[in-house]
Amino acid sequence: MLVSDIKSRPVYKGLTVDDAARRHLVAAEGEGALAVLEAFGDAPEAWSRMTLLYTPGGSAPANHAEALQARAPDAFHLHPTRQTLMTRLRALLDTATMGTRLYATGVEGFIGQVVAAGIEHGVDHFSIRTEHRGSLARRVQCVHCKGFMDDVTVSPVTCAHCGVPLLVRDHYSRRLAAFQGVSIDAECPGDVPAAEEIFK
Amino acid sequence: MSGGVEIPVRVVDVEQATETVKRFRLAPLSGEALPPFSAGAHVVVTMDDHGRRIRNPYSLIDRAEDGSSYRIGVLRVPNSRGGSKFMHENVKAGDRLVITMPVNLFPIVRTGRKHLLVAGGIGVTPIYAMANELKRRSAPYEIHYAMRNEASGAFIDELRAAHGDKLKLYRDDMQEFVSVSEILPNQPLGTHLYVCGPEGMIEAILKGGREAGWPEENLHCERFLAPTGGEPFSVVLQRAGITAEVRSDQSLLEAIEEAGVDAPFLCRGGACGQCETTVVSCDGELDHKDHYLTEEEHASGKKIMICVSRLKGRELVLDL
Amino acid sequence: MTIQFKSETFRDDFTFSNSPEAIRRFPFPFDKDEYMYAVNIEQHMPGPIKSPYEFPIDIDEHYVAEMRDRALVLKEDPLRCQSLPHMLTAEWDLVELLMESMAKNYPEHFELTREGDAWHWINRPLGIDQKFTFGDTSTLPYPPMEYITRQCQGDFCLCDQRNDDLWMDAGIVTTQADWSLDFDVGMSFKEWHGPVPLAHDIGVFDRALKFLLNLQQGRPVRRLNWTMTINPRLDTSPENYHKWGIDRTTVTPENVGNKVHLRVELQALWRLPRSNAIVFSIRAYLIKMEELVTIPKWGRRFHRVLRDLRPELADYKGLTRFRQMTVDYLAKHDDGAPTSPGFFPD
């Protein structure tokens, strides 16, 4: 479990299965596949009520998709990218009914986007079960130009949109599913420390 | 004043809604408009029974459009400590009462996409206000209203007029019961359920909700406890240096107020946490009845909600 | 009592200053010679006449200029005003609270007439005469919160109460001490206070939240917070930090008295009636060091507070670069004499 003293960062408590759920709507990315396999184990009745969306991300070589499919989820959607997964997820949420339990697992930026999509559909974020797996890379929003960057592993990082060198702050927005990037050299223009790989 | 701002009111109308329910219309003595309130809110009514002060919380039913009055509904409870009996037997049009500002411990979740309102008996009073607010906001909702028989349904006519087929009735005498397996499936994501009624009904509905896979965050209830009486005991208010007797027909909070000590309160029903008080010592067993403290806090014996809980013993020493 | 509204700026040429009367009524936030976080919440009761606590909503000589500055900020960045869809009822509650309070306490400047839902609002300083239907958004030129807060000093946040927490789900924030509404919208009470150092560990936010969840209608509360700003700039937002951050390097021993400002936030919280939401108003007051030291008690006291401030707090508040220079300036106004208890001038 990712332990952190950042107050605004969500606590990812792990994928505990809600046995009462009529439908398990599971969104997984990369190594998150392993969390799904562990949490749902080999209880066929749970898999038979599961709609599973998976995008392998950097974990493609490990071929977790095959392992997931082998458990025979009721519906299995394999997506080439996070973006295509999110499009499918939103469509499923549009018509989902109460009794659907939403799960999200993978890197933090991915979990955040799933949770934000759930909130947009009236799901209380406390009711979404989440587990962090994979790297500690962060999704970052530049506070100046509002551009997002996925999978940021270093700080400072230059904003890919406006070019301002950004300090990645320990402040997280659930609505934006991102950490905050703020100019690091505003008080000393040009004096930017070397980037350190701190979110591995 | 520890319950907040108080508003002196005059009873302008008393309506016998059913055999056991009366509706009271309360107008402010000042003539200034009563504040709007959010559905699910209650006020605490202070009654003066020949010098004995009784305070009971009642959900607000509605407010006249111009703010000239509020309505509350009061069920006559057989083993009442006096509040509902006093309201039924003594309070007439023209009488004065004092109410607190509205307090809401049972609000509509505004982020919800749809709202299922479930009421049993007199539990319909907050549900009535919620249904009106949802209608005003054009939000999707359903009302499920259970009662012993049609004659005891104090709000059927008004609800039917306002909400039409959004209202479903369940009459015990016709073997009709609210069935979670019928009302819960196929509700859209983001639906919230609210239940107010007898304890057994609340438990059954919440249990049904959990079993249907509804998250806790979507299940809401109001469990107002009318404080019950019990064995008398002594209370020592250590900081005030006062010892008082808690009679069998009064709550600990009422005894403390009678002794002249201004203890904090909001709901007087064991729900809000405002009257949480530190126990210094006691020579018996604390009889916890609130829904606020955790099980561990109950077991610790260090805290007590003085509005509903008591001591089974001789003497309780409080940090007051 | 008619207020003489000043024509002044909070950007570019920075012509802002306080009149002697405005200095005397400044909400100086230190009642002792030292500072640490505390749950310093008190009832928002009417305070002394002419003080910023006299009325629930304080309008002062900077009103017109501040409203002009707010309009400029919103023109550049509309994300400074946001409201999630479920907050509309709370927005109307805020319209009522602010219009009622302003009209009641400043009748020579503001006027409100209500006939049921038909409302008529007159704002003389800004030349506004608006008839509208309360509850009908299409009868106002802006959404309700934006409409009224373009006419009221201070930032405002609307907090929804659910799951035993407060959620900042709407707000207008253009005069902030370096926090982003756009980033914080939707956060819980402890989340939006996340970056504040030390206070979490001593339980300040646990206690404050517990208190606020039971905040009662008709019983507003207030507290003071403070930081320091270089130049009288209201819009010290993270969004524009890459533009104003450099100001912190421009302080010299010659200009410190004019450039360095104590910035005090009078924060007040009300329970709103229709929505059960809480409105959190954050009203910023600025005072230059050379204005502050005209009140000898404040010069002495602020010297001691700033000199002894814990480094984590100085860092968090962004004071590190100019703190020593300011302490040196204030030292010249501190003869070591004891200070009297309380906030107000002797």
Please state, for a pLDDT cut of 70, what percent of chain A lies above it: 98
Question: Cβ distance C105 to C96 under 8 Å?
Answer: no
CATH class, domain B6-104, is mainly beta
Burial of B282 (0-12, 13-18, 19+ CB in 10 A): buried
Q: Cβ of C116 and B66 within 8 Å?
A: yes
Mutate to test the interface with A, among B113, B181, B184, B189 (most CBs of A within 10 A): B189
| Spatial separation of the C-alpha atoms in residues B283 and A4, rounded to whole Å | 44
**Chains meeting C at 3+ CB pairs closer than 8 A?**
A, B
Closest by CA to B277, choosing from B234, B235, B229, B320, is B320
Which of A1-10, B12-21, B33-42 shows the lowest mean pLDDT across its residues? A1-10
Question: Cβ distance B91 to B58 under 8 Å?
Answer: no
Residues ≥6 apart with Cβ < 8 Å to B111: A122, A124, B190, C84, C86, C160, C162
SS (H, E, C) chain B: CCCCCEEEEEEEEEEECCCCEEEEEEEECCCCCCCCCCCCEEEEEEEEECCEEEEEEEEEEEECCCCCCEEEEEECCCCCCCHHHHHHHCCCCCCEEEEECCEECCCCCCCCCEEEEEEEHHHHHHHHHHHHHHHHCCCCEEEEEEECCHHHCCCHHHHHHHHHHHEEEEEHHHCCCCCHHHHCCCCECCEEEEEECCHHHHHHHHHHHHHCCCCHHHEEEECCCCCCCCCCEEEEECCCCEEEEECCCCCHHHHHHHCCCCCCCCCCCCCCCCCEEEEEEECCEEECCCCCCCHHHHHHCCEEECCCCEEECCEEEECC
Q: Is pLDDT above 70 for B299?
A: yes
B108 touches chain A (CB under 8 A): no
| Average pLDDT for B290-318 | 91
C247 to chain A: nearest residue by CA? Answer: A187
Q: Has residue C285 been placed in a domain? A: yes
| Spatial separation of the C-alpha atoms in residues C54 and A160, rounded to whole Å | 50
Residues from A contacting B (CB-CB < 8 Å) are: 18, 20-23, 93, 96-101, 121-124, 126-127
Structural domain spans, chain A? 23-132, 138-197
Q: Cβ of C214 and B111 within 8 Å?
A: no
C160 touches chain B (CB under 8 A): yes
Pairing of strands B141-147, B167-171: parallel
Q: Cβ of A186 and C163 within 8 Å?
A: no
> Which positions in chain A touch C249 (Cβ < 8 Å)?
187-188
ipTM here: 0.91
Q: Is pLDDT above 50 for B129?
A: yes
C294 touches chain A (CB under 8 A): no
Q: Cβ of A98 and B211 within 8 Å?
A: no
Q: Is pLDDT above 90 for A154?
A: yes
Cα dist. B25→A3, B95, B97, B157 in Å?
55, 11, 11, 18
> Which positions in chain A touch C192 (Cβ < 8 Å)?
8
- Cα C304 from chain centroid? 24
Backbone torsions φ then ψ of B108, nearest 5 degrees: -70, 135
Q: Cβ of B66 and C216 within 8 Å?
A: no
Q: Is pLDDT above 60 for A194?
A: yes
| Spatial separation of the C-alpha atoms in residues C90 and C95, rounded to whole Å | 9
> Which positions in chain B touch C219 (Cβ < 8 Å)?
4-5, 101
**Chains meeting A at 3+ CB pairs closer than 8 A?**
B, C
Burial of B6 (0-12, 13-18, 19+ CB in 10 A): middle
pLDDT of C183-204, one tens digit each? 999 999 999 988 877 777 777 7
| Spatial separation of the C-alpha atoms in residues C114 and C119, rounded to whole Å | 5
Question: Cβ distance C94 to C279 under 8 Å?
Answer: yes
pLDDT band with cut points at 50, 70 and 90 for residue B1: very low
* Per-residue confidence (pLDDT) for residue C322, from 0 to 100: 95
pLDDT of B77-90, one tens digit each? 876 667 888 999 99
Of C79, C200, C249, which has the smallest distance from its Cβ to A7's Cβ? C200
| Spatial separation of the C-alpha atoms in residues C174 and C156, rounded to whole Å | 9
- Residues of C annotated as catalytic are 223
Structural domain tally of chain C?
Answer: 1
| Spatial separation of the C-alpha atoms in residues C275 and C162, rounded to whole Å | 12
| Spatial separation of the C-alpha atoms in residues B53 and C111, rounded to whole Å | 42
C179 to chain A: nearest residue by CA? Answer: A143
> Which positions in chain C touch A192 (Cβ < 8 Å)?
none
Residues from A contacting C (CB-CB < 8 Å) are: 6-9, 119, 124, 126, 141, 143-144, 146, 164, 169-176, 180, 182-183, 186-189
Structural domain spans, chain B? 6-104, 114-222, 233-318
| Average pLDDT for B105-126 | 95
C104 touches chain B (CB under 8 A): no
Mutate to test the interface with C, among B110, B114, B135, B307 (most CBs of C within 10 A): B110
Domain, as residue range, for C237: 20-85+155-331
- What per-residue string of b and e applies to B81-98 under the rule 16 or more CB within 10 Å gives b? bbbbbbbbeebeeebebb
Closest by CA to B270, choosing from B227, B233, B209, B301, is B227
Pick C290 or B268 by higher pLDDT.
C290
Q: Cβ of A93 and B111 within 8 Å?
A: no
C36 touches chain A (CB under 8 A): no
C79 touches chain A (CB under 8 A): yes
B63 to chain C: nearest residue by CA? Answer: C274
Q: Which helix or strand (DSSP H or E) is residue C144 part of?
A: helix C144-149
* Per-residue confidence (pLDDT) for residue A4, from 0 to 100: 62
In chain C, which among 195-234 make CB contacts under 8 A with chain B?
210, 214, 216-219
> Which positions in chain C touch B35 (Cβ < 8 Å)?
217-218, 273
Pick B250 or B134 by higher pLDDT.
B134
Q: Has residue C105 been placed in a domain? A: no
B184 to chain A: nearest residue by CA? Answer: A98
* Per-residue confidence (pLDDT) for residue B50, from 0 to 100: 84
> Which positions in chain C touch A126 (Cβ < 8 Å)?
163
Q: Cβ of B102 and C161 within 8 Å?
A: no
Q: Is pLDDT above 90 for A145?
A: yes
Question: Cβ distance B222 to B196 under 8 Å?
Answer: yes
C116 to chain B: nearest residue by CA? Answer: B66
Tell me which long-range contacts A108-111 makes (C-beta under 8 A, separation of at least 24): A108/A2, A108/A12, A108/A132, A108/A136, A108/A137, A108/A138, A108/A139, A109/A137, A109/A138, A109/A139, A109/A150, A109/A151, A109/A177, A109/A178, A110/A27, A110/A29, A110/A30, A110/A32, A110/A57, A110/A82, A111/A10, A111/A12, A111/A177
> Which positions in chain A touch C244 (Cβ < 8 Å)?
186
Domain B114-222 has CATH 3.30.1450.10: no
B84 touches chain A (CB under 8 A): no
pLDDT in tens, chain C (346 residues): 689 999 999 999 999 999 999 999 999 999 999 998 776 788 898 989 999 999 999 999 999 999 999 999 999 999 999 999 999 999 999 999 999 999 999 999 999 999 999 999 999 999 999 999 999 999 999 999 999 999 999 999 999 999 999 999 999 999 998 899 999 999 999 999 888 777 777 777 888 888 899 899 999 999 999 999 999 999 999 999 999 999 999 999 999 999 999 999 999 999 999 999 999 999 999 999 999 999 999 999 999 999 999 988 898 888 999 999 999 999 999 999 999 998 889 8
* Per-residue confidence (pLDDT) for residue B80, from 0 to 100: 65
> Which positions in chain B touch A101 (Cβ < 8 Å)?
213, 215
* Per-residue confidence (pLDDT) for residue C210, from 0 to 100: 86
C318 to chain A: nearest residue by CA? Answer: A187
- DSSP label at C277? -
Burial of B294 (0-12, 13-18, 19+ CB in 10 A): exposed
Q: How many CB atoms lie within 10 A of CB A43?
A: 12
Mutate to test the interface with B, among A24, A95, A98 (most CBs of B within 10 A): A98
| Spatial separation of the C-alpha atoms in residues C334 and C296, rounded to whole Å | 8
Cα dist. B105→B251, C44, C325 in Å?
21, 23, 52
Q: Cβ of B187 and A22 within 8 Å?
A: no
Of B187, B189, B216, which has the smallest distance from its Cβ to A123's Cβ? B189
pLDDT of A37-79, one tens digit each? 999 998 899 999 999 999 998 788 888 999 999 999 999 999 9
The mean predicted confidence, pLDDT, of chain B is 91
SS (H, E, C) chain A: CCCCCCCCCCCCCCCCCCCCCCEEEEEEECCHHHHHHHHHCCCHHHHCCEEEEEECHHHHHHCHHHHHHHCCCCEEEECCCHHHHHHHHHHHHHHCECCEEEEEEECHHHHHHHHHHHHHCCCCHHHCEEEECCCCCEEEEECCCCCEEEEECEECEECCCCCCEEEEEEEEECCCCEEEEEECCCCCCCCCCCCEECCC
Q: How far is A75 from chain C (nearest CA, A)?
A: 33
Angle of helix B156-163 relative to helix B124-136, nearest 10 degrees?
20
Q: How far is A170 from chain C (nearest CA, A)?
A: 8
CATH architecture of B233-318: Roll (3.10)
Q: How many CB atoms lie within 10 A of CB B283?
A: 12
Q: Cβ of A144 and C245 within 8 Å?
A: no
CATH T-level topology, domain A23-132: Rossmann fold (3.40.50)
Q: Has residue C101 been placed in a domain? A: no
